[in-house]
Amino acid sequence: AAGVIQSPRHLIKEKRETATLKCYPIPRHDTVYWYQQGPGQDPQFLISFYEKMQSDKGSIPDRFSAQQFSDYHSELNMSSLELGDSALYFCASSKRSNSPLHFGNGTRLTVT
């Protein structure tokens, strides 16, 4: 079965640079969520989109923005990167906002 696809799998950036993470949801899933997971931590909710509109917002820094496109893929844009942004970033999708979330394998971002 098709899963959530995230790219890139690994990304290394320097402080103050920008990064763009991409997420391709499971086909026919209309809702996308972004989570951040620090080392040894639980995933923390950042933001979600339903039918291309932002549906919920969590602890996402103002330096980050995201959007969902007409083909339902989503991008997380991160600017002015800080060392503390180093983490695993997961995207998850669901068919509608009241069904189980399925996660991708994440993008490991390292800020040096």
Partner 1 sequence: GENVEQHPSTLSVQEGDSAVIKCTYSDSASNYFPWYKQELGKGPQLIIDIRSNVGEKKDQRIAVTLNKTAKHFSLHITETQPEDSAVYFCAASIGGGSTLGRLYFGRGTQLTVWP
Contact in structure between 20 and 11 (CB atoms under 8 Å): no
With respect to partner 1, which residue has the nearer C-beta, 7 or 80?
7
Distance in Å, CB of 100 to partner 1, minimum = 5
With respect to partner 1, which residue has the nearer C-beta, 27 or 38?
38
CA 20, 46, 55, 4 torsion-angle sign: positive
Q: How far is CA 70 from the centre of its chain?
A: 17
Distance in Å, CB of 16 to partner 1, minimum = 28
Pairing between strand 19-24 and 5-7? Answer: antiparallel
With respect to partner 1, which residue has the nearer C-beta, 10 or 14?
10
Contact in structure between 76 and 46 (CB atoms under 8 Å): yes
* Type of residue found at 26: I
Interacting residue ranges for partner 1, rule: CB under 8 A: 4, 31, 33, 41-45, 48, 50, 55-56, 58, 90, 92, 94, 97-106
Distance in Å, CB of 45 to partner 1, minimum = 5
